[in-house]
Amino acid sequence: MDDQSFRRHVDQSLDNLKRSLYAAEADADFEVEENAGALNISFDQPPGQFVISPNAPVRQVWISALSTSFKLDWSDDKNDFIFPKTGEALKELVSRLISEQLGGEKIVIQ
C-alpha cells in the first residue's frame, strides 16, 4: 500500500471511529478528544487514557490502552484495520478495550 492509500484508509477509519465514539460517550463514562490526528479517550473511573493514532512509516494504526500497545494492519479483505493477534477490526477492538477499562460494562462502538 502506498502512502496516499494508507492516508485515505486511516483518515476514513479514524473519522468513522471518532463519530461512533462521540455517539457512545453520551451513554458511557469516557470522553473523546481529537488532537493532531490522534484520538484520545479519557476515563474518570477508573482513571485511564487510550491513544489511537496512525503510524504512517509502518502503515499501521496504533492503540495505546490498558498498558499495552496494539498495532493494527490494513486488510483489503475486510476493508478495515485489523489486530492480527485476535482478528478484531478497529471498532471491535476499541469496544472490547473500553469495556475492559470500565470493568466489564459492555460498550459497543457501531
pLDDT band for position 58 (cuts 50, 70, 90)? very high
Q: Quickly tell me which residue has 490522534 as its cell.
A: 38
Query: Is-contact 41 49, C-beta < 8 A?
Result: yes
Asked which of 40-49, 80-89, 97-106 is least confident by mean pLDDT, the reply is 97-106
Q: Is the pLDDT of residue 107 over 90?
A: no
Quote the pLDDT of residue 25: 84
| CATH number belonging to domain 3-101 | 3.30.920.10
pLDDT of 17 strictly over 90: yes
Kindly indicate the confidence band of residue 109, based on its pLDDT and cuts at 50, 70 and 90. Answer: confident
Strands 48-55 and 38-43: antiparallel
pLDDT at residue 110 above 90?
Answer: no
Q: What percent of the chain has pLDDT over 90?
A: 79
Task: Note the pLDDT of residue 105.
Answer: 76
Distances (CA, A) of 24 to 30, 36, 81, 92: 9, 22, 20, 13
pTM for this structure? 0.93
**pLDDT at position 70:** 98
Q: How many Å apart are CA 68 and CA 57, to the nearest integer?
A: 20
